Amino acid sequence: MTYAPLHSDALREPHGRKVADSLAFIADAINAFRVWRLNRRTERLIASLPADICKDIGWPSAAADDRRSPRGRLARM
């Protein structure tokens, strides 16, 4: 069995790559959470507005209206 000395690049390079990959994964997860949290905050703020203002700004969007429309229930009957 061959042992590499501790100062060898053979030990540092794979370890450094694993650490960098782990840090990149964590950074991506944190960024995704921040985007999710910002979207939820925006939805809560808009939902707290009066109905006439929500209608003026087009909230909820057409896609959200389609999910709540009776067409979906009628299509299943």
Q: What is the DSSP string of 29-52?
A: HHHHHHHHHHHHHHHHHHHTS-HH
Confidence (pLDDT) at 61: 60
* CA dist., res. 54 & res. 56, Å (int): 5
Instruction: Choose between 7 and 39: higher pLDDT.
Output: 39
Task: Give the pTM.
Answer: 0.51
pLDDT tens readout for residues 11-47: 556 666 788 888 899 999 999 999 999 999 998 998 8
Please report, to the nearest 10 degrees, the dihedral formed by the alpha carbons of residues 44, 48, 52, 54 taken in order. -10
Confidence (pLDDT) at 35: 96
* CA dist., res. 36 & res. 23, Å (int): 20
